[in-house]
Each structure stands twice: as structure tokens, then as C-alpha cells.
Amino acid sequence: MNLTLTKTESITMGKRFYLKYRFCVLAVPIIVFFLTHSIAIASLNEQIAIDAKAISLANTVTSSPPGMMSIHYNPAGLSQLKGGKQFMITFAALRLEISGKFESDPDFEGFLGGKFNDDKLDGASGKTSDLRIRAPFIGEIDIPGGMIVSPIAFGFSYREENSRWTFANGFYAPYVGGFSHNDKDDPMVYGGKSLYIQHFIYLSPSCSYQFSDDFSAGLSIGIGQSAMGAELDIRAPSELVALTNEQGDTSGNLDIPVLSQLDAPAPWFGGGISPYDTIAKLKFKTRDDFSPSYNIGFLWEPIKWFSLGACYQSEVKAKMRGEYMDALGDSFQNAIDWLGLSPPTLVMSQITGLPAESKAYEKGYCSLEFIFPQRLQVGITVRPIKSLKLMTDMHWTEGSANKTLALDFDQDMQVFQFITQLGYSGGSRSMVVDLDMKNTLHFSYALEFQAREWLSLRCGYEARESSVQDDHFTLLAPFPDLDILGAGIGISLKNGLKVDLAGSYIYNKGFTVPNNTSKQLNSTTFTDIFYNPYAGLDYEQDIEIFELAMSLSMPTNVVGHSIDRFFEVSGEFMRNLNPF
């Protein structure tokens, strides 16, 4: 018996299967949603603002790639672009607000049996005041009000008539994010007065090849720049720091002339350091001007009502270098200078490796390594009717590539020399933040309805997992799980111009970190000496991102005609203003 089916018979059988079981097929994305929504735990800042169509569909585009920005989402989708030369540009308006509030834990008595329990941050709240980015070729800039309006991507593509090859190139930012807390008395400055982390792709030479009518594959190479910078007010609320202040207070009455000066001058430790003192203010900026990457994907549409797409995005290993400056607090300087006041304290300084003379400022060169993690996206699209697409994407991210964030300095830093004696294990030339990020797996869902031949309606939802674990939550990476809602429209004109409009709302409200539950925020455990600036405090946070975007794509001849028409209209306008 011959079991081989012709192509026509295969298509006919597929249609019969669809008509009989279409409700089961359409139920798959819905079932997957309810089974997986409960495990959603945001892979930080990737794919926030790249393409308007992708924004409206909440990044659910692997099996239905968004035109030119298939370069990023699935290079195989470049085969769906029209032939000839095409141009695309995307503009976006984005506003970010992160607000936080701190409350004293009623079950925490304070340090040293309650002698220190008057944290000035109790009841304090703050929020981001500005956006901070490092603009290409310009440098660090703050955007007042937390809102930016800017071009975010553009690209070109080319395919010869009847060719199976499509070539493209583009500029975009797959990872971007940054903020500042510039308001007076904002308590969040100890978690990060300002921070930015981003990866811009300046060139992305890309190609796709259409092997058959129903299968394409593509590759893009990213040539980009990575950058990270931060400002951080440092404090170390702990039992051991409080003990220096206690000894400074109790030794104030032990000032015996001559003997005290030869032994241990009072007050000890120069009066000591309060657990709530600002001991230093650190600022650094780093970048890597060549951090390459690549994306590879395929797109398969065996029948008209079903397509499958997958895209692998490689990790980006960024080795960033830059400059830093560290301003030391008064009480910390006093404690260091005390070690140089007598022979016994000088011996103590030499034994412990502590300096005996303080510096008001320390500055020099620094470096850090960070991995923008590898990702895998797999998506399916089904068409229950000709005018409706239902899409589901699976997103996997190897967040565990970043276990620590280590900022290495070119000299011994007095703050880290001091806290090393209190149990800090990162050494005197490194600021080590234990991130212990994890791998994530989450899903997104979208639909697109072709209301008219020229008009598409879109919406999507992404339940984005966070690579940050709750017990390592830090304001240096203040992104918990995020819900992403998107909506938009697509307009196609007869001259080849396509306009995509999108809006997005990204949020997490009411996120809490109870006292002593995060090793990088508010741990009161004796051995967690760094970095816990909010020990003894409960933390509550809201995060909201509002975004509007517009993408324009068109044949390059339309661009030229539009420019000519602009100058023509401008000339007529000027002539009307000046009749002479």
C-alpha cells in the first residue's frame, strides 16, 4: 500500500483536520496561558522599545515577524519584505516611574539591643525623577521628568527581483534602561542614586534565504556598544558598624591626659560610625565599544492557517572599562584618621591592613564584566479565519549567566578595606554585589485582526519573568515580575508606505520586600555586611512604564519623493510669506 501523499493531498488533509479540530487548535494558547501564568516570576530590560508592531503585540512576533526589525526578533522574517530597497524608522515616547516606600519593621528592635533604632528613612518615600541614558557619541544625559521622545530604531533592506536572498542592516537598542533619583532626601539614593545599563547595536548586517515557499532562515550579526554607570550613596547598617559608634560614645569619658594619647586616644574610632551614616558616595561610568552578538532564526508555514517560528539570540559578553570617583563621609574619615593618632593604633592599622590617614576623595580607573544573557524565542501563529491571527510565544532567558556584579578598582579603596574587617569577602579593590540571577521561562499572547485591506488591529499581553530572585532583590536591578499590555494599529497605503502605531503599559504594583528577606537590600543577618543599605526596613515598590511608538516603513523611492515634496511645499510657503 502506498502511504506517500502528494502536496495537494497533504494540504487537503490539513484543511480537513483544521475544520474538524480547529477549536482544539485554538484552545492550545489559552490552555498554555492558564497553566503557565502562575509561574511567571522581568528578564530585566530587554525588548522594551524596538519596533511599534512588536510593542503592540507585546513581543509576540517570532512566528509573525515585524518587518525590518525581524533583524532582532527573527531574521528569517526578512524574506517577507517586499523586493527592492526598503527603509524603516521608529520613534517612541517613553516614561518610566519607580516609586518606593520604607517602613520600620515592628519586629526589629534595632542594633545593639535597641540602642540604634532611629533610622531617618523610616516612613520615607521616593521616586525616579529623571531618565538617565548614555547617548551614542554624546555621553551621559538626564531626561527631566522621566520621559523621553526619540528615534529608537531604523534600518534598510534590499532584495533583487526573483531572488531568494534578502539583505538588511539596522540600528536599535535590544537592552536599554536608566533612571535618576535627584530629589532632595530621596531614600532610594542608597540603592542607586542613578543607574543606566544598555546595549546599542550600531550595525547589524543581516540576511535571510527563502528555501521554499513555506520555509525561510535568517542570520543577523550585531556590532554594538555596551555601557553601565551608576551613582550610589553607601551606608552599612549592621551590628559591627553600630559597635564602633557605641565604643566612641562610651570612651568619651576615658580621656586620661598623656596616657590616652599614647594608648588609644578618646573618643575611640574618632567617635565611631553610626549604622545610619552615609560613609561614602561612589560614582562610576564604564563602557565596551565592541561587544558583538548574533541572532539566528527560521520561519515555517506549511499551511496557510499555521506558522512556526524560532529565534536564538546569543549572549553579549561586555568587558567594560571606565572611571570612578569616591567621596568619603566625615564620620568614616574620622574613624580612619583615629588609627594614625598613637603607636598602638598604628600597629592595629598595620595588622588589620587598614589605612591610618583618610582621603576625602578617591578616583581612578575601574572595570567590570557583564553578560547580556542568551535568549530563545519560539512562537506559533494560527488563523481560525482569514482575517484573524492568534499568536503565542515562549521566551527563555539564561539569567543565571550573571551570578555577581564585580566593579574592580585600580587601587585599595578605604571603604572596602574597612568593611573587609567586618566580614566582607570581596577584597579591598572590588565592589561585589551578589546577584545570583536565575534562568526564566515565560509566555506572551497576541492577536491581530485585519479589519480592512489597509487596516490591522492588534493587541498583546506578556507575563514577563524576572531573573532577579526575591532573596537577592536590589535597587540596582529594581525589576520584579512585570505585566506588559500592548495595543496598536497598522495602516498600509497604496504607495508602499506602512504606518504602525502602538501603545504599551508595563507595570508591577504593590511589590514588597519584608525586612530581612533580601541579602542585597535589607538583611539584618550578622554576616551580610554588604550590600544591605535598608537593614531593618520593609520596602514596597510600584513600577510603571508608559510607551507610545510609531514605525514608518516604505520603499526608498517614497522617501525621496517625500523629501522632494517637503522642499516643494516649504518653498511655496516661503514664497507666500514674501510676495516680493
Grid cell listed for 266: 578618646
Tell me how far apart the alpha carbons of residues 485 and 461 are, in angstroms, rounded to a whole number: 5
pLDDT number for residue 7: 46
Cα radius of gyration (the chain)? 29
Residue pointed to by grid coordinates 550573571: 402
Nearest to residue 457, comparing CAs of 486, 424, 422? 486
CB atoms within 10 A of CB 476: 18
Q: Please calculate the CA angle 477-147-443 and round it to the nearest 5 degrees.
A: 50
Task: Please tell me what DSSP assigns to residue 121.
Answer: T
**557, containing H or E segment:** helix 556-577
Q: For residue 485, which amino acid is it?
A: L
What would the DSSP string read from start to end of 318-375? EEEEEEEEEEEPHHHHHHHHHTTSSHHHHHHHHHHT--SS--SEEEEEEEEEEEE--E
**Pair 171, 194: CB distance under 8 Å:** no
pLDDT number for residue 147: 75
Q: How are beta strands 293-303 and 215-234 bridged, if at all? A: antiparallel
Domains of the chain: 11-238+275-577 (2.40.160.60)
Q: Residue 71: helix, strand or coil by DSSP?
A: helix
pLDDT number for residue 134: 81
Q: Would the pTM of this model clear 0.75, i.e. be above it?
A: yes
Tell me how far apart the alpha carbons of residues 335 and 272 are, in angstroms, rounded to a whole number: 6
What would the DSSP string read from start to end of 143-195? EETTEEEEEEEEEEEEE-TT-SEEEEEEEEEEE--EEE--STT-TTHHHHSEE
Residue 463, phi then psi, degrees to nearest 5: -95, 90
Per-residue pLDDT of the chain (580 residues; tens, 9 = 90+): 444 445 455 445 444 544 444 444 343 333 333 333 333 333 445 778 889 999 999 999 999 999 999 999 999 999 999 889 999 999 999 898 999 999 999 999 999 988 899 999 999 999 998 888 887 677 788 787 777 788 889 999 999 988 999 999 999 988 888 889 988 889 999 988 999 999 999 999 999 999 999 999 999 999 999 999 999 999 989 888 998 888 888 876 666 565 555 567 778 888 889 999 999 999 999 999 999 999 999 999 999 999 999 999 999 999 999 999 999 999 999 988 888 877 777 877 777 788 888 899 999 999 999 999 999 999 999 999 999 999 999 999 999 998 888 999 999 999 998 888 888 888 999 999 888 899 999 999 999 999 999 999 999 999 998 999 999 999 988 889 999 999 999 999 988 899 999 999 999 999 999 999 999 899 998 878 778 899 999 999 999 999 999 999 999 887 655 555 545 555 565 566 554 4
pLDDT number for residue 27: 39
Whether the bond into 209 is cis, omega within 30 of 0: no
Bridge partners (DSSP) of residue 321 are 287, 367
The Cα-based distances of 249 to 111, 266, 270, 339 in angstroms read: 15, 9, 10, 17
Bridge partners (DSSP) of residue 458 are 448, 488
Q: Where are the beta strands (DSSP E) in 57-146?
A: 84-104, 125-127, 130-135, 139-144
